Chains A and B, each alone.
Chain A
Amino acid sequence: QVQLQESGPGLVKPSQTLSLTCTVSGGSISSGSYYWSWIRQPAGKGLEWIGRIYTSGSTNYNPSLKSRVTISVDTSKNQFSLKLSSVTAADTAVYYCARIVVVTATQYYFDYWGQGTLVTVSS
């Protein structure tokens, strides 16, 4: 059974960079044809996709966040990470990491999710 666990600071100051790591257990991050993704959810609001990465390092980002987002992967540690720069209060949210199952080149879905971690942007 694959498990994902988010970790990182729960409080980030405005204008700084938010950094989170997702540790994958129960299987190798490099096995199969899976992609890995970050999704966030502000309190009381809906889900927003941030971006995805393949173990080759290939990435695809939400256009609305692309200028501030970097997703990377460390296969030796079975982890992938999120960096979001120049954060504001609007970036306060629960951040989830998730595994992607690819259906076609443009179609995929999320089958395993982490429990989520709350990141608050405040001075």
Chain B
Amino acid sequence: SYELTQPPSVSVSPGQTARITCSGDALPKQYAYWYQQKPGQAPVLVIYKDSERPSGIPERFSGSSSGTTVTLTISGVQAEDEADYYCQSADSRAHVVFGGGTKLTVL
């Protein structure tokens, strides 16, 4: 079955840049999407179609794609950005796949 691989954790100091990667064999052909989830809350879409940002999402959130890896970049990290981040894509049969999630810690 198709899998997306994320690092379990990423740590950065406030004001620095956080990069969270997501790897999957189908990513060169399929878009990736990113969700932010804070404790006790539902996930929130922060990036769609690899690099598009929904309205209301701060400009410090950006996405990029290169080969089999997509990257969520948070520039000028703030304490409020501490959360779990999940990438999402789908296989050729439209079955949704989520990455295992990355816990972003703001030191």
Contacts and interface: CB of A to CB of B under 8 A. Distances in A.
Interface of A: 37, 46-49, 52, 60, 62-64, 96, 101, 103, 105-111, 113-116
A46 B45 contact: no
Interface of B: 1, 30-31, 33, 35, 41-45, 48-49, 54, 86, 88-101
A82 B64 CA distance: 35
The 4 closest A-B CB pairs, nearest first, are A49-B96, A113-B42, A109-B33, A106-B94
A115 B38 CA distance: 12
SS class of chain B's interface: helix, strand, loop or mixed?
loop
B94 A105 contact: yes
A46 B43 contact: no
Name, among A37, A60, A109, A113, the residue most crowded by chain B CB atoms within 10 Å (CB to CB): A109
Given A103-B31, A107-B30, A110-B45, A48 B90 contact: no
Contacts of A37: 96
Contacts of B94: 60, 105-108
A76 B54 CA distance: 30
